[in-house]
Amino acid sequence: MRVDIWSDIRCPFCYIGKKKFEIALERFTHKEQVEVVWHSFQLDPGLKTDPGVHTYDYLARIKGMPREQVIEMHDYVTQAAHEVGLTFDFEKVVVANSFDGHRLIQLAKSSGLADAAEEHLFRAHFAEGKNIDDKATLREIGISIGLDETSVDEVLSSDKFADKVQEDEMMAWHIGIRGVPFFIFNNRYTVSGAQPAEAFLQTMEKTWNEAQQVV
């Protein structure tokens, strides 16, 4: 069974959705026969990286909300993350474009390490306060998950894999994906958003059972 996932590493609900999917996958009887394929998606491709701006101030400005309302919203997100075992620290989150991070994920994908890249980039952004648009940070993450050092340097010093990021985004557009996380099971069933683990499990079981009937 194949599961395609569109995600942005600067999207908190994508990280929460990843965790909920993983909880469901651990409970799925046939988990060893599930292939997970990660796809790039930028919620804000035009975002300018600015480590000097607090994420609350940035979001208040672009959403036209009072800063207090933004903080309240993020308190809710932090609690939702905590409920699935994740730690978010929005006081440290760096306002950063995710395009180069997605290029690193595409490199990792070519080596079967996309899931590790996603996890480390999510953690770097939401828990560790690292700049996911900083080449030294991306280099450190790439090497830490087992990518070849020379390959990482080659990607970060060029526009390599930019076409793969854009292909994923174009595919999402044609499918009708306008928000992430977005999950597609065997090109048949979809789950949109950070749904409860039970929803992912039920979808996997339904997809699996129908596939067995076809066989």
pLDDT for 215 beyond 60: no
Spatial separation of the C-alpha atoms in residues 35 and 30, rounded to whole Å = 11
pLDDT for 182 beyond 90: yes
Question: C-alpha angle 35/28/2, rounded to 5°?
Answer: 20
pLDDT at 213: 85
Please report, rounded to a whole number, the percentage of residues in the chain having pLDDT higher than 90.
98
pLDDT for 214 beyond 70: no
Over residues 59-85, the mean pLDDT reads: 97
pLDDT at 205: 98
Over residues 57-77, the mean pLDDT reads: 96
Q: How does strand 182-185 pair with strand 50-54?
A: unpaired
Q: Enumerate residues 6+ apart whose C-beta is below 8 A from 83.
A: none
Domain ranges (residues) in the chain: 2-44+97-214
Over residues 28-57, the mean pLDDT reads: 97
Q: Containing H/E element for 101?
A: helix 99-110
CB 195, CB 20: distance < 8 Å: yes
Spatial separation of the C-alpha atoms in residues 175 and 150, rounded to whole Å = 35
CB 13, CB 181: distance < 8 Å: yes
Spatial separation of the C-alpha atoms in residues 130 and 120, rounded to whole Å = 11
Q: Containing H/E element for 128?
A: none
CB atoms within 10 A of CB 154: 12
CB 71, CB 56: distance < 8 Å: yes
Written as six digits, the tokens of 152 are: 């990482």
Q: How does strand 2-7 pair with strand 35-40?
A: parallel
CATH number, span 2-44+97-214: 3.40.30.10
Written as six digits, the tokens of 99 are: 């395009």
Global pTM reads 0.96
pLDDT digit string, tens, across residues 80-102: 999 999 999 999 999 999 999 99
Chain-wide mean pLDDT for the chain?
97
Distances (CA, A) of 180 to 6, 11, 89, 184: 6, 8, 21, 12
pLDDT at 132: 98
pLDDT at 189: 98
pLDDT digit string, tens, across residues 107-118: 999 999 999 999
pLDDT digit string, tens, across residues 123-181: 999 999 999 999 999 999 999 999 999 999 999 999 999 999 999 999 999 999 999 99
Distances (CA, A) of 53 to 11, 41, 44, 137, 207: 18, 23, 16, 19, 44
pLDDT for 39 beyond 90: yes
More confident residue, 214 or 38: 38
